[in-house]
Amino acid sequence: MSSTAYRGWRCDRHRSANTCRTNGLAPVSVAERSLAAGAWQWAGLATVALAAVLADQITKHVVTRTLGLDEAVHVAGPLSIHHVQNSGIAFGLFSSATGAVIVLTTFAVGWMLLFFARSGSRHPVLPVALGLVIGGSVSNLVDRVRLGHVTDFLDFRYWPAFNLADSFIVVGVGILLLALVAADRPARPRS
């Protein structure tokens, strides 16, 4: 009896009948597996992004209703809640180009959604990491469109004030970078 392995299938030629069955031990090319996001990945991304938007919008609402513009309350150590407005992006860059920032942010969110649609099942942390980045970006985008600025309030004295959306973006990018580094490490040989 002879057998041939073909893409995870094992076909046996036995006398007069050819039979084929799957071979669980035969390697299957990774390229054959779809990396597109499935329903569970989309649900995870949407849940994380929505939670990020809600948390950021609620904290900004509390700060704007509680503190006047440029008013601050010391919390502990170097941390203060300081109500400031930022019409630019990080560190106040592009403060006179709010329209361009809106267009670029919209483009970036669209690109991330397209990337996720094509590669969402590539790594289990992608829904969380991209959910944080997209949620933070969308929340700040909503403020820029609605108000022409974002409300920043977390002030560590030696760093420009920021908000939860900014934190979510940084944490999401950090998770993505850690996932990339972990994926590039060679596997340890078993002892």
Is 56 one of the annotated active-site residues of the chain? no
Question: Cβ(148)–Cβ(97) under 8 Å?
Answer: no
Q: Please identify which of the residues 56, 143, 152, 155 carries the catalytic annotation.
A: 152
How would DSSP label each residue in 90-106? Answer: GGGTTTT-HHHHHHHHH
32 to each of 36, 44, 66, how far by Cα in Å? Answer: 12, 24, 55
Q: Which residue, 92, 177, 100, 164, is CA-closest to 132?
A: 164
Catalytic residue among 56, 143, 155, 166: 166
Look up 155 and say whether it is catalytic.
Answer: no
Q: Which residues are catalytic?
A: 152, 166
